[in-house]
A and B are shown apart, each in its own frame.
Chain A
Amino acid sequence: MSGFEHLTPLILTVITASTPLLFAAAGELVTERSGVLNLGVEGLMVTGALAAFAGTYVSGSAIIGVLCGALAGVLMALVFAALTLSLLANQVATGLALTIFGLGLTSLLGSGFIGVTVENLPKLYIPGLSEIPVLGPIVFGQDAMVYLSFACVGGIGWVLARTRVGLILRAVGASHDSAHALGYPVIRIRYMATMFGGAMGGIAGSYLSLVYTPMWAENLTAGRGWIALALVVFSTWRPGRLVVGAYLFGAITVIQLHAQGLGVAVPSQFLSMTPYLVTIMVLVVISRDRLKIQLNAPACLGRSFHPAQ
């Protein structure tokens, strides 16, 4: 039994570390499926994190906080969409600028919130079920956001594969010219997808500042937005695989922290690198299979659409 006693908190931290990645990556997946490459996920997340923290602090309600976070993400995504979709700015450059802008803006506006604490999100508690050893706290003892993240991924997968809206989204990403020829409003659909990605990025940031840390600090996201971007490629644009990727990355992050705590004879800097190294290696291995990527990748990813002539 003593093994399990260590295992349960470990798994719980893995879930906490993975949930924000899952949210952000699921949002970016939808954005990319419509053909828009938003490299500003990091910026969306960090803005969402601050907005959620401030919202919770002011209102005293974590739910309002999360809504603030989502709204902030949407606004940031709207800026990105206006620049790239309406004004045809380069998506890569604009995405990078969005990240830098988000990090700068939040360190400016967030300086007053450093050292402040807010109340954590409540965990689910079902008498009986949540007390089952090991499984209880893991399956029935999470906060609402964890369940929501799985619901989102499942919902996105279902919408993409089974519904007309999902089909239109994929079609716009596969060939914007053909979609336009059939009369679909390419730009409007991409706006919606980008804003959805923004909302999810904002929610991911909320989870960081309200649950994971829970406090505000500059550069709170610490590169997780980039990992979320990588996870989308890792999953070859399929929602189901996002869960695997996010939890793999979350698990490695937590395990290396524990390894550092246990005093493994490897410099801690190397251990801190492992999640990123593993992500890069997995990406390289997956990218080797070009045919698979060809089949799933949105062909119009990152390409501006001019409905000329």
Chain B
Amino acid sequence: MDEHNDKNKPDDGRRAGAPLLEARGLTKAFPGVIANDTVSFIIRPGEVHALLGENGAGKSTLVKMMYGLLRPDEGELFWQGRPVQMDKPSTARALGIGMVFQHLSLFEPLSVLENVALAVPGKWNPKALRKRIIEVSTAYGLPLEPDRIVQSMSVGERQRIEVVRCLLQDPQLLILDEPTSVLTPQEADQLFATLDKLSAEGRSILYISHKLHEVRRLCSGATVLREGRVVAHCDPREETPGSLAELMLGTRIAPPSRASTRRTTPRLRVFNVSATSSRAFGFDLKDISFTLHGGEILGIAGIAGNGQNELMKVLTGETKLDHEADAIRVDGAPVAHFGPIHRRLCGMAFVPEERNDHAAALNLALTDNTFLTGFSKLRLTRGGMIRSRRTLEHTKRVVDTYGVRTAGPRADAGSLSGGNLQKFVVGREIMQAPEVLIVAQPTWGVDAGAALAIRQALIDLAATGSAVLIISQDLDEIFAICDRIAVMSEGRLSPPVPVAQATTEEIGLLMGGVHAPTIPPEPEPEQREAAT
């Protein structure tokens, strides 16, 4: 396990502890970018191996080549010492490679059983399959009901389907792409227990994550990628999160810093807002109330799909509350009956969760995207005409300030990588100097360096006296930058508590819909428990 020096010259495949999978000199180029440049590494039997790297470092490309979704331009893969051609996913599966995707690859209108059946080769036998799903899911502590429709399930439950789906094929190597980014701390612990068990059975795991403490907890080997190249092989248990981050980024990073803030005047007040969900199996908002003060960052945690989308729509004005103008007030002025444009004039700014075609129009240039949300606040029109130069200058400022990597301010938004586009949409809103900024998932799918820049920008905005609301599934993020935290669960919002007084356990329980007694009272905890 401790042989570090053989990293580039893998040993003979027959020896004990010989590699299960070995990549030798994998290279893959896309137009304009070399995603992987002569990448080599080894996964041993029973090893939990981490693949570390920023977004855009080439992790996804590498994994896709290992799973037969992409073909390498150069280089070879060896499975148990023999060269293999991963020409399609079924080849990889037949060898014993299973993969749990980052963007869950499930079919929402289908049942658990159907989803599993689609991924399992062999004879069509739903009855036997149902039995095996139940067997495997209980054996590994991943409870599942075969007949439930995926659309009605939480993200954590959906991930269980993917894991069970892989395990049914008895894989020797399980690839997990950012598996905990959507889980509560308790769900993540449950997953780690499952992974420990799998590793103890002699299966190998390739674990892709940004979360360095998880990698240090789980993995006994790591390959670090930067800009498509392997920059290090190491044992993460012998590293610190700081040293790992430094390897990934190539530079030392400092955690976000903030001076302690004083709560000043209330800027955004929400009173008893209820709204029905427009999605199948979405949660209706029930009696949401909170106050957001100037200079404060309030974090709303919760598992995806517990009403956050609905809340975001009510706050942005995509869902207007026509007859309850007073339900939402900005600096005392009722805004609940306004749509987004009008609310922006009142000093609000928004960054919706989905950056593709929601926060940004992908087929339009960055300048046009700047114009679309900022035209009134930044006075980008004159007599109904677009002031192109002013728009261009402002776009340039956003691009420069937030280090957005792009061909230029006139490039299409769709040409940016996910992380860069996120920097752009967050930066675009912050540069409008809003009184109230509402951001959903500010650093979703963004690499560590960019995430840090975005978080620092949010802190700096709050320091100017603006109020910031963050809706995030990333608890680490909320604990890192928020003053107070509230939790959404099944369409209800728990009363906000200061972050300093909250523990990860309590918040995790709230996220799961359980109300710990230590959290300030809520009127009807018994009722809710009786109902479930």
Contact = CB atoms under 8 A, between A and B. Distances in A.
Interface of A: 163-164, 167-168, 170-171, 174-175, 177-179, 181-184, 290-291, 294-296, 299, 309
Contacts of B149: 295
Contact of A309 (B30, B119, B151): B30
Given A170-B110, A309-B70, A183 B89 contact: yes
A130 to B, nearest CB: 40
Contacts of A178: 105-107
B114 A167 contact: yes
A296 B28 CA distance: 39
Given A168-B118, A171-B107, A171-B110, 20 more contacts: A164-B117, A164-B124, A170-B110, A174-B110, A175-B105, A175-B107, A175-B108, A178-B106, A178-B107, A179-B107, A179-B118, A181-B105, A182-B105, A182-B119, A183-B93, A291-B280, A294-B280, A295-B151, A296-B109, A299-B109
26 contacts: A164-B117, A167-B117, A167-B118, A170-B110, A171-B107, A171-B118, A174-B107, A175-B107, A178-B106, A178-B107, A179-B118, A181-B89, A182-B105, A182-B118, A182-B119, A183-B68, A183-B89, A183-B93, A184-B118, A294-B279, A294-B280, A295-B149, A295-B151, A299-B108, A299-B109, A309-B70
Interface band, chain B: 20 to 34
B109 A174 contact: yes
A126 to B, nearest CB: 37
A294 B89 CA distance: 30
A305 to B, nearest CB: 15
Nearest to A174: B107
A299 B107 CA distance: 10
B390 interface: no
B109 A181 contact: no
Taking each of A183, A291, A294, A299, which has the highest tally of chain B beta carbons within 10 Å of its own beta carbon? A183
Nearest to B152: A295
A184 B93 CA distance: 13
Contacts of A290: 278
A290 B366 CA distance: 34
Contacts of A171: 107, 110, 114, 118
B463 interface: no
A309 B61 CA distance: 8
B69 interface: yes
Given A178-B107, A309-B70, A295 B124 contact: no
B445 to A, nearest CB: 16
Secondary structure dominating the interface of B = loop
Nearest to A297: B109
A19 B280 CA distance: 34
Taking each of B68, B90, B109, B149, which has the highest tally of chain A beta carbons within 10 Å of its own beta carbon? B109
B101 to A, nearest CB: 7
Interface in B52-105: 64, 68-70, 88-90, 93, 101, 105
B105 A177 contact: yes
B374 to A, nearest CB: 31
A181 B104 CA distance: 10
Contacts of A184: 118
Nearest to B165: A182
Nearest to B109: A174
Contacts of A291: 279-280
B280 A295 contact: yes
A168 B119 CA distance: 10
Contacts of A164: 117, 124
Contacts of A175: 105-108
Interface string B274-291: 000011100000000000
Contacts of A299: 108-109
A169 to B, nearest CB: 11
Contact of A295 (B68, B101, B109): B109
Contacts of B280: 291, 294-295
Given A164-B117, A171-B118, A182 B110 contact: no
A39 B69 CA distance: 33
Nearest to B114: A167
A26 B30 CA distance: 42
Contacts of A182: 89, 105, 118-119
Contacts of A181: 69, 89, 101, 105
Nearest to B70: A309
A185 to B, nearest CB: 10
Nearest first, the 6 closest Cβ-Cβ pairs linking A and B are A183-B89, A178-B105, A174-B107, A164-B124, A291-B280, A294-B280
A184 B107 CA distance: 13
A303 to B, nearest CB: 13
Contacts of A168: 118
A214 B101 CA distance: 56
Nearest to A175: B107
Contacts of B117: 164, 167
A184 B89 CA distance: 9
A281 B90 CA distance: 47
A184 B90 CA distance: 9
Nearest to A292: B280
Contacts of A294: 279-280
Contacts of A309: 30, 64, 70
Contacts of B107: 170-171, 174-175, 178-179
Contacts of B64: 309
Contacts of B90: 183
A131 to B, nearest CB: 45
Contacts of A179: 107, 118
Nearest to B279: A294
B128 to A, nearest CB: 14
Contacts of B114: 167, 170-171
Nearest to A294: B280
A170 B114 CA distance: 10
B491 to A, nearest CB: 16
Interface in B151-189: 151
Nearest to B90: A183
A296 B30 CA distance: 37
Contacts of B279: 291, 294
A296 B280 CA distance: 11
Nearest to A178: B105
Nearest to A291: B280
Contacts of B124: 163-164
B319 to A, nearest CB: 14
A182 B165 CA distance: 11
Contacts of A183: 68, 88-90, 93
Nearest to A290: B278
A288 to B, nearest CB: 12
Nearest to A298: B109
B236 to A, nearest CB: 28
A175 B101 CA distance: 14
A163 B89 CA distance: 22
A177 B149 CA distance: 19
Contacts of B109: 170, 174, 295-296, 299
Nearest to A308: B30
A290 B89 CA distance: 36
A164 B151 CA distance: 21
A289 to B, nearest CB: 10
B152 to A, nearest CB: 10
A163 B125 CA distance: 10
Contacts of A177: 105
A170 B110 CA distance: 8
